Amino acid sequence: MKTIDELLAEGVAGKRVFVRADLNVPLDGTTITDDGRIRAVRPTVSALAAAGARVVVASHLGRPKGAPDPAFSLAPAAARLGELLGSEVAFATDTVGESARATVAALTDGQVAVIENLRFNAGETSKDDAERGAFADQLAELADLYVGDGFGAVHRKHASVFDLPARLPHVAGGLIATEVGVLKKLTEDVARPYAVVLGGAKVSDKLGVIDHLLEKADRILIGGGMAYTFLKAQGHEVGISLLQEDQVPAVQGYLKRAEELGVEFVLPVDVLVAHEFPDLKTKAPAHPTTVAADAIPADQEGLDIGPATRELYAAKLADAATVFWNGPMGVFEHPDYAEGTKAVAQALVDSPAFSVVGGGDSAAAVRILGFDENAFGHISTGGGASLEYLEGKTLPGLAALED
């Protein structure tokens, strides 16, 4: 993979450089609730601008349905990027239309523009190669060079990620280079013990990574909504907790294989339960109770790991040399269910292990709960992308930058 440093050494002054970034930040209306992804790509953008490039930054945000939708506008992200760069950032109100063409044509050396959400165009995510290719052709007209730096999207075979680099001289940006370097450390010559903490909402999202990491990890700790499918697989009733009944056989298979391989699976021993899912808007007190993991009442749901589990997990992480964590331990968005996620974050801060946090919600949780990002080995900007990398899959956006 050619790097941005090589490109900068060759010189980019006066060149139009398309930066495929990942500005897919969580929004509350038009307010950005976590700007981590924008901060992560800022060094790439500012290095190009400082070298005199005319920088065209592009990204997706959310899942609009292939047509403009103001709820998914990149305007707030563009404004934030401008604040971080300390300079005016131009904004095009479309992707490849009149506004984009005029905005790019008006750029002077060292200036930055953001074009509107790539997913406002159906060609971006199309499964049809020709439709994607046609959109990539239009995007290619906006630039002379391509820098791939949207790590959070490299697992997508999308026009701006996969087809566009085939049409322009391309390099990997600094963020992608960092992310790939970190993920290599989690797959090759891993320092042991290697502990993996998995949580979040859906087991089915994470089965592939469990499958692959069973061969690599020494210990796998399970929390979050997916823990209930594991508890069910062990024969416990889980009340009205999040449950993916259809995944129970697969989970039973993993538990069995882990035993054969000598991998330690650690499941919650206690959980916080309540009769209903908390109100995340008002954050009204939820008054949960703590119960043993094998005694969840039939009419209640588990929403966080309990205090004994927090201690158990902290102990299981204290002597690890490498930790990968994906997925919150509970519904951390509500303060009554944030303690489990906090405890795991604190355990990583306290442990000398090389710790990597992956996953959009997990990374946001760490920052929203007030932890210092620098206390972790690395906070990945990619959820699905880092998981698919760890599953050993070929990522289209990385493959496209290789040749």
Token pair recorded at residue 298 = 């039939």
Edge-to-edge strand ranges of the sheet holding 270-274: 289-292, 270-274, 301-305
Question: Considering the complex, what minimum distance in angstroms separates the CB of residue 119 from ligand ADP?
Answer: 19
The option from ligand ADP, Mg ion, none interacting with 331 (CB < 5 to 8 A, set by class) reads ligand ADP
361 lies in the binding site for Mg ion (CB under 5 A): yes
278 lies in the binding site for ligand ADP (CB under 6 A): no
Secondary structure element (H or E) that encloses residue 220, with its range: strand 219-222
- Name the phi and psi angles at 292, rounded to 5: -65, 150
C-alpha span between 403 and 268 (Å, rounded): 45
| Only segment of 174-182, 216-224, 253-261, 355-363 that touches Mg ion (CB under 5 A) | 355-363
Question: Considering the complex, what minimum distance in angstroms separates the CB of residue 201 from Mg ion?
Answer: 7
163 lies in the binding site for Mg ion (CB under 5 A): no
Token pair recorded at residue 123 = 């060609």
Question: Considering the complex, what minimum distance in angstroms separates the CB of residue 359 from ligand ADP?
Answer: 2
Angstrom distances, CA of residue 33 to CA of 25, 30, 326, 339, 343: 8, 9, 20, 20, 22
Instruction: Tell me which of 75, 84, 190, 201 binds ligand ADP, using CB under 6 A.
Output: 201
Q: Residue 37 catalytic?
A: yes
DSSP of 322-345? EEEEES-SS-TTSGGG-HHHHHHH
C-alpha span between 197 and 322 (Å, rounded): 11
Instruction: Tell me which of 244, 326, 380, 381 binds ligand ADP, using CB under 6 A.
Output: 326
Which one of the listed residues 202, 257, 367, 393 is annotated catalytic? Answer: 202
Q: Residue 157 catalytic?
A: no
Question: Considering the complex, what minimum distance in angstroms separates the CB of residue 340 from Mg ion?
Answer: 16
Which one of the listed residues 148, 152, 384, 397 is annotated catalytic? Answer: 384
Amino acid at 349: V
Q: Residue 360 catalytic?
A: yes
359 lies in the binding site for ligand ADP (CB under 6 A): yes
Task: Give the residue among 80, 109, 150 at the shortest CA–CA distance from 14.
Answer: 109
The option from ligand ADP, Mg ion, none interacting with 224 (CB < 5 to 8 A, set by class) reads ligand ADP
361 lies in the binding site for ligand ADP (CB under 6 A): yes
Instruction: Tell me which of 229, 362, 380, 381 binds ligand ADP, using CB under 6 A.
Output: 362
Instruction: Tell me which of 94, 218, 237, 333 binds ligand ADP, using CB under 6 A.
Output: 333
Edge-to-edge strand ranges of the sheet holding 170-172: 89-92, 112-115, 54-58, 16-20, 145-148, 170-172
* DSSP 8-class letter at 114: E
24 lies in the binding site for ligand ADP (CB under 6 A): no
On whether the CB atoms of residues 164 and 136 are closer than 8 A, the answer is yes
C-alpha span between 17 and 169 (Å, rounded): 10
Amino acid at 254: Y
Instruction: Tell me which of 123, 133, 224, 382 binds ligand ADP, using CB under 6 A.
Output: 224
* DSSP 8-class letter at 159: I
Which one of the listed residues 36, 360, 382, 397 is annotated catalytic? Answer: 360
Residue closer to ligand ADP (CB basis): 43 or 377 = 377
Q: Residue 127 catalytic?
A: no
Which one of the listed residues 15, 20, 37, 156 is annotated catalytic? Answer: 37
Tell the burial category of 181 from Cβ atoms under 10 Å away from its Cβ (0-12, 13-18, 19+). Answer: exposed
328 lies in the binding site for ligand ADP (CB under 6 A): yes
Which neighbouring-strand residues pair with 322? 194, 354
22 lies in the binding site for ligand ADP (CB under 6 A): no
239 lies in the binding site for ligand ADP (CB under 6 A): no
Number of helices and strands (H, E) in the chain?
A: 14, 17
Instruction: Tell me which of 360, 382, 384, 396 binds Mg ion, using CB under 5 A.
Output: 360
Instruction: Tell me which of 327, 382, 396, 397 binds ligand ADP, using CB under 6 A.
Output: 327
Instruction: Tell me which of 148, 239, 288, 383 binds ligand ADP, using CB under 6 A.
Output: 383
On whether the CB atoms of residues 180 and 402 are closer than 8 A, the answer is no
Question: Considering the complex, what minimum distance in angstroms separates the CB of residue 205 from Mg ion?
Answer: 8
Task: Give the residue among 103, 43, 31, 111 at the shortest CA–CA distance from 71.
Answer: 31
Binding residues for Mg ion, rule: CB under 5 A, are: 360-361
Catalytic residue list: 37, 202, 360, 384
Binding residues for ligand ADP, rule: CB under 6 A, are: 200-201, 205, 224-225, 242, 302-303, 326-328, 330-331, 333, 359-362, 383
